[in-house]
Amino acid sequence: MECLFCKIAKGEVPSDIVYEDDKIIAFKDIHPKAPVHILILPKKHIPSVNQLEPEDKELVGESILVAQKIAKEQGVDKTGYRLIFNIGKDAGETIGHLHLHLLGGKRLP
């Protein structure tokens, strides 16, 4: 079975999309851990940071620039926010498709 985030990227599974271009998609996390909780990911299926290749560096850079733009749109650029990649079980990673969490809108623990 194809991965959930690939399905969301293709529009086969609905999500609350806040940004999309040909390479990157960003949508609201279904179980938000902060008032602003957005997931930003390359549409290309890269399992995690562990599998990143040099050819992916532009995608990662673009993902962070998309996060910057969303942070501004969501009004947390001045108050602060956190960008997180979870890698593997000790980090609590549950979905094996590279994604960046953008969390903000409250004082984060």
List contacts with ligand 5GP (CB under 6 A): 4, 15, 27-31, 39, 86, 92-95
Percentages helix, strand, coil for the chain (3-state, rounded to 5) are 30, 25, 50
Q: Quick one: 31 or 78, whose CB is closer to ligand 5GP?
A: 31
Among 37, 97, 99, 101, binds Zn ion (CB under 5 A): 97
* Burial zone of 41 (CB within 10 Å; 0-12 exposed, 13-18 middle, 19+ buried): buried
Q: Is 99 a catalytic residue?
A: yes
Strands (E), 2-98: 17-20, 24-28, 36-42, 81-84
Among 23, 44, 45, 69, binds Zn ion (CB under 5 A): 45
Q: Quick one: 1 or 30, whose CB is closer to ligand 5GP?
A: 30
